Amino acid sequence: MGSASEFDLKNIQGDIWPGFTKRYEQFFFFNIQDAGDFRPGLRGLADHVITSSHDALVNRAAIHKVKQPASSEPGIVGNLINLTGSVIHAIHDALPAHHDIPRTKGPTDDVGLAQVNISFTVRGMTKLGKGRFKDDPFLKGMFADMVGQGRDEAKDWLPEFKDGSVDGVLLVCGTEHEVKKKVKDLSQKYLGPSQGVRHLLTLDGKERPGDQKGHEHFGFLDGISQPLIKGLDDETIKLPGSRKVPTRPGIILLGHDGEMENVPQLMHPEWAKDGSLFVVRKMRQFVPEFNSFLESQAPRLNFTPEQLAARLVGRWKSGAPVELCPDEDNKKYATWNDFDFPLDNQLNCPFASHMRKTKGRGMMNDRDIFDIMRRGIPHGPEVGLDEKENSKTVLDRGLIFTCYQSSLCNGFQFIKNRWINPDTFPADRTDFTDGMNPGQDVIVGQSVKGAIEEDDKLLYTCVYDSNKVHNKVTFEPFVQSNGCDYFFTPSLKLLGDLSVAQAV
């Protein structure tokens, strides 16, 4: 895949690529009670409602035009939307005049947006006549996968996600007033009782305020180390600081180069092309406890809490990589991705840091097979004064984690079960850690269920202190999974076809 022209950007749902602008987001989970009543509305959704990749690019360009109305140079827009030449000009020329772009209600001059995508579990797809998938975790569903065989605790899951009643999710992203209005309208027109649908649950995500914009609740800038797709992000790859190793499109999008290493027997059916497997996972974060842990552990390692936090994540809160900036934050490198980790030491960045646990740069030999496209958003209120004073979480806050990939076996499930939770990954590093295994991911690691051995009851990580001595640091998990499910995000063509599809 050499250029954007080889992709049908009007057929791909826009949150997969280039991703939606997410000031506010609602996830509307539903059950299909009568597929015959529900199916006809899918044509209307495909033709008039769903935001395609092309639509999402136009929206990004409109935001840019509002923020810099004096500039009409398409090349500037190109830096935001990652495309080249004729595509940039076509999008730029299609925009309405500056004064005709819709605004939000209120004091800010935001573009009023409500961008819409829809996805289905394997149960939902089966009801719609297309349940033949080849990805085992998707076929099992998240509860059987993450609770039955993983480390999630069933008692922590929301009831709506336990019984297999979720058939689909409508996600709407944009500005709060417009998102709420759009969800209300769509739930009446397409997702109500008269359309054979029962609403189960709505989850809300919202961008954090002020200087925490773009940061998750532990305080770190999120969504930086994203894969850059060959043929779609070619211009972004050329920018200073961008990772120079592109990801084959089939790692994220079904039916493209790279899906299951292009082995036909392992690939999904042709009708699944331009779709993606979508993970939604509500995570609760114990922020006061995490901050208290940093305050208590940093002095014995001769670090400040900020220095210790940077090592555990792999980036400073600004986003700057600790491998490049080991002693202090440098915002100049806030979104820098053009670096690797040394294979034989963890002097600056621990082997078990969140970054090295989720993408072992260098040791992966630039393999893209395990890449995922993350699209999460924070949920819940800011930490209150009483929570800070008592170092105890009271209110529910965290991250609605979402990601796209063509294979859960190589993507989310693999990363979670093979890299994040085991204390032995990265493997064969004990020669560089005084004989200790690297440990678990402090940010998202989970305890072993029903642990009997004392070593299994507490998690640990191996960290160099400022004197270059290895230390074993123990901790209890700072996140809790409240569950959700695995979904398939179909192409717009398939969505329209499903409006008349019969069971196969």
Q: What is the 3-state secondary structure (H, E, C) of 235-254?
A: HHHHCCCCCCCCECHHHCCC
Threshold 0.95, pTM exceeds: no
Contact between 482 and 283 under an 8 Å Cβ cutoff? The reply is yes
CA-to-CA distance for 207 and 82, rounded, in angstroms?
23
> What backbone torsions phi and psi does residue 436 show, to the nearest 5 degrees?
-85, 150
CA dist 93 and 103 (Å) reads 20
Query: What letter represents residue 369's amino acid?
Result: I
Rounded to whole angstroms, the Cα distance separating 462 from 459 reads 11
Give the closest residue to 218 by CA, choosing from 158, 280, 294: 294
Strand pairing category for 24-32 and 168-174:
antiparallel
Phi, psi of 263 (to 5 degrees): -85, 110
* Count of CA atoms in the C-beta half-sphere (13 A) of 18: 21
- Tell me how far apart the alpha carbons of residues 440 and 151 are, in angstroms, rounded to a whole number: 13
Residues in the chain: 504
The phi and psi torsions of 326 (rounded to 5 degrees) equal -70, -25
- Give the Cα separation of 504 and 501 in Å (integer): 8
Please say whether the beta carbons of 89 and 136 come within 8 A.
no
Report the distance separating Cα 432 and Cα 454, nearest Å.
Answer: 25
Rounded CA gap, 70 and 64, in Å? 11
Could you tell me the end-to-end alpha-carbon distance of the chain, in angstroms, rounded to an integer? 31
pLDDT, tens digit only, all 504 positions of the chain? 344 557 999 999 999 999 998 999 999 999 999 999 999 999 999 999 999 999 999 888 888 777 765 455 544 343 444 444 445 545 655 555 555 556 555 545 578 899 999 999 999 999 999 999 999 999 999 999 999 999 999 999 999 999 999 999 999 999 999 999 999 999 999 999 999 999 999 999 999 999 999 999 999 999 999 999 999 999 889 999 999 999 999 999 999 999 999 999 999 999 999 999 999 999 999 999 999 999 999 999 999 999 999 999 999 999 999 999 999 999 999 999 999 999 999 999 999 999 999 998 877 666 899 999 999 999 999 999 999 999 999 999 999 999 999 999 999 999 999 999 999 999 999 999 999 999 999 999 999 987 777 777 789 999 999 999 999 999 999 999 999 999 999 999 999 999 996 644
Are 466 and 302 contacting, i.e. CB atoms less than 8 angstroms apart? yes
Amino acid at 53: S
Tell me how far apart the alpha carbons of residues 416 and 185 are, in angstroms, rounded to a whole number. 37
Q: Using alpha carbons only, give the angle 453, 454, 458 rounded to the nearest 5 degrees.
A: 120
In angstroms, the CA 183 to CA 24 distance is 12
